[in-house]
Structure 1
Amino acid sequence: MKETVGRSVGMLSNLIRRHFSTFSFHGTLSGAQGKTLHFILARGQECDVFQKDIEEEYSLRPPTATKLLKDMEKNGLIYREAVPYDARLKRIVATEKAMQYQELIHQSLEETEDRLTSGISSQDLAVFFRVINQMIRNMS
């Protein structure tokens, strides 16, 4: 079978998704929730995070992001609150419960990144990022 970019990216995507599906703490936090929570916590309390930011960060469609955030809200990981400058906007805020997972999430993401890049030189990684970013632009 001929090697293609789409097939290779798909295979890697499936392997990463499978790896993150094992990323769960007491059944409360899925891999997608962990990555999203990491994004929210990394932005800090000084920077508002909205659903649109999560959609853009992970290239999610609005219904997918809505379901993800509803599940996180149901699990007590986030809540949404109106911002004073626009009643239509709801910023996403991590709860105290979510903050208990911060170090575990960070550690898991770091280990995954180390595993993905093991044995790859910084020069090869620079080429990879240049190429993958062009592919992302091509598909956008």
Structure 2
Amino acid sequence: MISLTQSAARYVSKLSNKLRRKLDAFSSRKEFSGSQGRTLHFLLAQTEDIFQKDIEEEYSIRPSTATELLKQMEKNGLIVRESVAYDNRLKKIVVTEKALSYKRQVVEDLTTLEETLVKDIPEADLQVFFRVIEKMMDNLSE
């Protein structure tokens, strides 16, 4: 029987909420939200063209959620969406100069968060954690 006090879903939800609050705290001094900062970090790390579907897959979000996120980022001047020559239906996401000016701070904030999150956790335990989380995500995809 599953314990209501030690439910995997409950703990994942609590961790997710704490992470979201930390991300939002990093971003409160800037012109964008924590979700936008996290997405900006992802975009800045890419070397290939990135499209909305890549954001949806990276963060396991619905197309409508990704659309709203990208609209806000565009409104904030962080990205532009440009057509690609090989398919006019596709719009690649391109970071702006304004977004590039935030790169150092975004990377620093997310690196600090990651270091805080995994502090004092042995590497072997982290590897188990990653395998378990991957399996949980696979289970929910079935």
TM bracket (short chain): over 0.9
* Equivalent in the alignment of 1:74: 75
Q: Shift in Å at residue 26 of structure 1? A: 4.5
Is the alpha carbon distance of 1:132 and 1:10 closer, same or farther for their aligned partners in structure 2, counting shifts above 3 Å? same
State the one-letter code of the partner of 1:23.
Answer: F
Q: Tell me the distance in 2 between the aligned counterparts of 1:22 and 1:2.
A: 28
Aligned to 1:32: 35
Amino acid at match of 1:82: S
1:25–1:99 Cα change, 3 Å = farther
Q: Which residue of 1 aligns with 2:103?
A: 102
Q: How many Å apart are 1:2 and its aligned residue?
A: 2.6
Percent of pairs with identical residues: 54
Q: In structure 1, what is the Cα distance between the partners aligned to 2:126 and 2:13?
A: 19
Distance 1:134 1:124 in 2: 15
**Once the 2 structures are TM-superposed, how far is the Cα of residue 4 of structure 1 from its aligned partner?**
0.8
3-state DSSP of counterpart to 1:93: strand
Alignment of 1:52-131 (within 5 A): 52-131=53-132
Correspondence for 1:42: 45
**Counterpart in 2 of 1:4?**
7
Relative to structure 1, the CA distance from residue 134 to residue 83 in structure 2 (aligned partners, 3 Å threshold; closer, same or farther) is same
Letter in 2 for 1:54: I
**One-letter code aligned to 1:7:** R
1:104 positional shift: 0.4
Separation in 2 of the partners of 1:25 and 1:100?
17
Alignment equivalent of 2:24, drawn from 21, 24, 43: 21
Runs of 4+ in 1 over 2 A off after TM superposition: none
Normalised TM-score (structure 1): 0.95
Report the Cα distance in structure 1 between the residues aligned to 2:95 and 2:110, rounded to whole angstroms: 18
TM-score (normalised: structure 2): 0.94
Aligned-CA RMSD value: 1.1
Unmatched segments (≥5 aa) in structure 1: none
2:28 and 2:97 mapped to 1: Cα distance? 15
